Structure 1
Amino acid sequence: MTTFRFSFGFGVVAIALSLILTLYVPLSVHAQSLPPAPPPSSDGTSIDQGIAYVLMMLALALTYLIHSSSTF
């Protein structure tokens, strides 16, 4: 019988302790929310656009050179 009382008492203490910790711990933790990360200074679109312009000019120059040399 003593084992039964001990296990019952242990269960009651464990449940009480878990309820106390469940209610107390969230109140005692003062978590600070972090500020959002700053937006990137360049998202890469301007770099991509610059590369596209350079490639278009290169294609235009090559097309001009190929067509002008074939007319002779």
Structure 2
Amino acid sequence: MNSIRSSAFPIIGFMFMALLSLGYGQQAPAPAPTSYGMAIDQGIAYTLMMVALAITYLMH
């Protein structure tokens, strides 16, 4: 009986530690870096295309 208690204590201890570690879980991922450079470039490109289209329309 004493040997069962001595071997059960470490097993129960490891199970308890495993349950406690589940509470931490994974942390939220870091937010993606934001860069609006590409969006600004695309906006400028669309504006220039509209200006070119307007000039072409007025020339004809």
TM-score (norm 2): 0.47
For the pair shown, the structure with the greater C-alpha radius of gyration is 1
